[in-house]
Amino acid sequence: MFVSAIIAAGGRGRRLGAPVPKQLLELSGRPILRWSVEAFLASPVVDHVVAVLPAELASSPPEYLRGERLTLVAGGERRQDSVACGLDAVPPATGLVVIHDAARPLVDADLIARTVAAAAESGAAIAALGARDTIKESGGEGAGAARFVSRTLPREAIFLAQTPQAFRREVLEHAVRLGREGVDATDEAALAERAGYRVRLVEGSTRNIKITTPEDLAVAEALIGPHAAGPSSVRVGSGYDLHRLVAGRALVLGGVKVPFEKGLAGHSDADVVCHALTDALLGAAAAGDIGQHFPDTDPRWKDADSVGLLRQAVAIVAARGYRPVNADVTVIAERPKLAAHRDAIAACLASALGLPPGAVGVKAKTNEGADATGRGEAIAAHAVVLIERP
């Protein structure tokens, strides 16, 4: 099922008292909005992301809000209006929509996946935390008056709603229709309830806080802090790939078309250099592998440009708080000779990684006639990459 995410970021966050919308405030060196958007771009269960923004930001977005899997739209007056704008912009193939508040920047991949899976099964699902404190309901005293307890509620029945909230498309369309007809609600789950749907509860996360006040921002900084320092601030990953040489295909290595009578067999363009480097990058961030994110069973990746896949891997790694520092690639091929193409390959890979050409090394070796590569039946590549937390 094709899954689209809507990131609700059209508000101004006036309660925070900041000079800019709160989603643009920096959290550990990156805008809050960027944390949320990149978390969903990195999720293996999300295919496309729609960010609903203030009009001026949608018309002139920063670099981190540009990409093939990202659509930007201007929001409306209320949150539910903004979500409706986002729903209008999801790709036609979308079967399930997951909605997330940009002000919850610490959402993780596991919570996204569990909420999406529950909605796919039940039609609608939200992340929520069970109440831990005893819950008291007050009476109807007016503003400024002394308040008194009217009753104590059973806390085992009380849940505090978070986002993500996920819905099969037809459920969300029905809920949004109610909003457009004048029904007011604080979240889409409430609209779905009004439309007659049962909403499933998924265990949320205490880390998944919503930033509303300066104190919330300080708490989020503290939660990120231990993960942004120490030995894990620098990581190394390695990757390997091999493809058979076949007639009738272009030979693409590191994003460069190399003149040769054969090309590499594969579901995508079979660029072993990019594939090895993509696996190295994902491995360094403990973010899975190329088969997990771009499986050869998915028709979307048929004849895909592997440089584009490498760029997506960079975004996945960025969502985990890392960026590439340098890379080194070794291509193992009996033929063709690659000396004339090494600089072009290094430049292409560096561009995909966001690095200067001098930060990427490319070497070519033969296998001295041994095994499939040595017999000229295949080409292989090894890659090593260093990543760091900015």
Q: 205 with 240, same domain?
A: no
**Range with lowest mean pLDDT among 50-54, 240-244, 285-289:** 285-289
First to last CA, the chain: 35
Q: 280 with 184, same domain?
A: no
What pLDDT score was predicted for residue 231?
Answer: 40
Count of domains in the chain? 2
Mean pLDDT taken over the chain: 90
What pLDDT score was predicted for residue 140?
Answer: 65
Q: 152 with 200, same domain?
A: yes
| Cis omega (within 30 of 0) for bond into 92 | no
pLDDT confidence bin for 119, thresholds 50/70/90: very high
306-319 vs 272-284: helix axis angle to the nearest 10? 10
CA gap 322, 306 in Å, rounded: 21
Residue-wise pLDDT tens digits, 222-260: 888 754 444 457 899 999 999 999 999 999 999 999 999
Residues 105 and 10: beta-carbon distance below 8 Å: no
272-284 vs 342-353: helix axis angle to the nearest 10? 40
**Range with lowest mean pLDDT among 5-9, 94-98, 155-159, 228-232:** 228-232
Which CATH number characterizes residue 358's domain?
3.30.1330.50
- Taking 60 as the threshold, does the pLDDT of residue 18 lie above it? no
What pLDDT score was predicted for residue 227?
Answer: 47
Domain extent for 339: 234-388
CA gap 357, 352 in Å, rounded: 10
Extract the tokens encoding 72: 């930007």
CB contact burial 361-375 (16+ within 10 A = b; e otherwise): ebebeebeeeeebee
Q: Residue 127: which of 197, 46, 209, 52 has the closest Cα?
A: 209
* Amino acid of residue 325: V
What pLDDT score was predicted for residue 230?
Answer: 40
Q: 56 with 194, same domain?
A: yes
**Range with lowest mean pLDDT among 79-93, 200-214, 289-303, 352-366:** 289-303
Q: 91 with 194, same domain?
A: yes
| φ and ψ of 14, to 5 deg | -65, -25
Q: 185 with 243, same domain?
A: no
CA gap 258, 270 in Å, rounded: 13
Among the three residues 206, 227, 248, which one is the final residue of a domain in this structure? 227
Q: 201 with 347, same domain?
A: no
What pLDDT score was predicted for residue 228?
Answer: 46
Among the three residues 227, 242, 271, which one is the final residue of a domain in this structure? 227
CA gap 175, 167 in Å, rounded: 10
Which CATH number characterizes residue 66's domain?
3.90.550.10
**Per-residue 3-state assignment (H helix, E strand, C coil) for 325-373:** EEEEEEEECCCCCCHHHHHHHHHHHHHHHCCCHHHEEEEEECCCCCHHH
Residue-wise pLDDT tens digits, 182-201: 898 889 999 999 999 999 99
> Could you give the dihedral angle defined by the CA atoms of residues 127, 132, 136 and 140, in that order, rounded to the nearest 10 degrees?
-30
Q: 75 with 209, same domain?
A: yes
CA gap 178, 191 in Å, rounded: 7
Q: 260 with 186, same domain?
A: no
CA gap 94, 92 in Å, rounded: 5
Q: 96 with 130, same domain?
A: yes
| φ and ψ of 202, to 5 deg | -115, 135
pLDDT confidence bin for 48, thresholds 50/70/90: very high
Q: 177 with 201, same domain?
A: yes
Helix or strand holding residue 100 (H, E): strand 94-101
Residue 78 three-state SS: coil
| Cis omega (within 30 of 0) for bond into 44 | no
Give the DSSP letter string of 85-123. HHHHHS-TTEEEEEEEETT-TT--HHHHHHHHHHHHHHS
Q: 163 with 110, same domain?
A: yes
Among the three residues 163, 194, 227, which one is the final residue of a domain in this structure? 227
